[in-house]
């Protein structure tokens, strides 16, 4: 290999260093030449940066909203009496609540502090409880969480998820 081979090798090393997926990315997006980032609906803020919503927080909120909507669709056609005996529906709800708890754990502290109206800790506790002992959680508690709490959560999180 001559000089051109060495140059190509140097480029590959340079590219590997510059495209490192573990490199620390800035947490708050910047405004550029009049570009305004999507507004969190209902907050009165003009950008994600001002509302302390990082792109990762937005992604986790989208996951929470998606899981909550799935739970809503699972329990929409069921009734309280048949829910304990419908194991497939019950397991689907449990799986989505556990997933919501995992996404809620990854929300930043700054976001949690700015939005105390989002009951993140309740979602985390319920997800953790279901991980530990899903069969011991009463069906009535699971039904109330899925039917009442999740519908309220959809309304609150839906206002914050950037489009």
Q: Is residue 144 a part of any domain in this protein?
A: yes
Q: What is the pLDDT of residues 131-153, one digit of tens each?
A: 999 889 999 999 999 999 999 99
Q: What is the pLDDT of residues 40-98, one digit of tens each?
A: 333 444 344 445 588 999 999 999 999 999 999 999 989 999 999 999 999 999 999 99
Number of domains in the chain: 1
Q: Is residue 95 a part of any domain in this protein?
A: yes
Q: Is residue 137 a part of any domain in this protein?
A: yes
Q: Is residue 28 a part of any domain in this protein?
A: no
Give the dihedral of Cα atoms 106, 144, 91, 116; nearest 10 deg.
0
Q: Is residue 83 a part of any domain in this protein?
A: yes
Q: Is residue 138 a part of any domain in this protein?
A: yes
Give this prediction's pTM: 0.68
pLDDT at 161: 85
pLDDT at 51: 55
For the chain, percent helix, then strand, then coil, each to nearest 5?
A: 65, 0, 35
Nearest Cα residue to 151 out of 69, 83, 43: 69
Q: Is residue 100 a part of any domain in this protein?
A: yes
Residues 104-120: what's their mean pLDDT? Answer: 93
Q: Which residues span the domain enclosing 118? A: 52-160
pLDDT at 53: 80
């Amino acid at each position: 290999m001559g000089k051109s081979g060495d140059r190509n090798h140097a480029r590959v090393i340079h590219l590997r260093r510059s495209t490192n997926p573990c490199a620390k990315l800035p947490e708050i997006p910047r405004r550029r030449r009049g570009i305004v980032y999507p507004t969190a609906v209902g907050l009165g803020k003009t950008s994600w940066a001002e509302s302390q919503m990082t792109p990762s927080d937005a992604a986790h909120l989208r996951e929470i909203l998606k899981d909550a909507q799935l739970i809503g669709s699972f329990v929409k056609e069921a009734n309280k009496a048949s829910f304990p005996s419908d194991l497939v529906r019950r397991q689907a709800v449990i799986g989505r609540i556990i997933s919501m708890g995992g996404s809620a754990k990854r929300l930043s502290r700054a976001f949690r502090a700015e939005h105390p109206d989002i009951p993140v800790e309740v979602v985390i506790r319920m997800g953790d409880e279901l991980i530990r002992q899903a069969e011991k959680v009463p069906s009535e508690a699971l039904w109330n969480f899925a039917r009442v709490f999740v519908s309220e959560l959809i309304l609150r999180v839906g206002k914050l998820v950037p489009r």
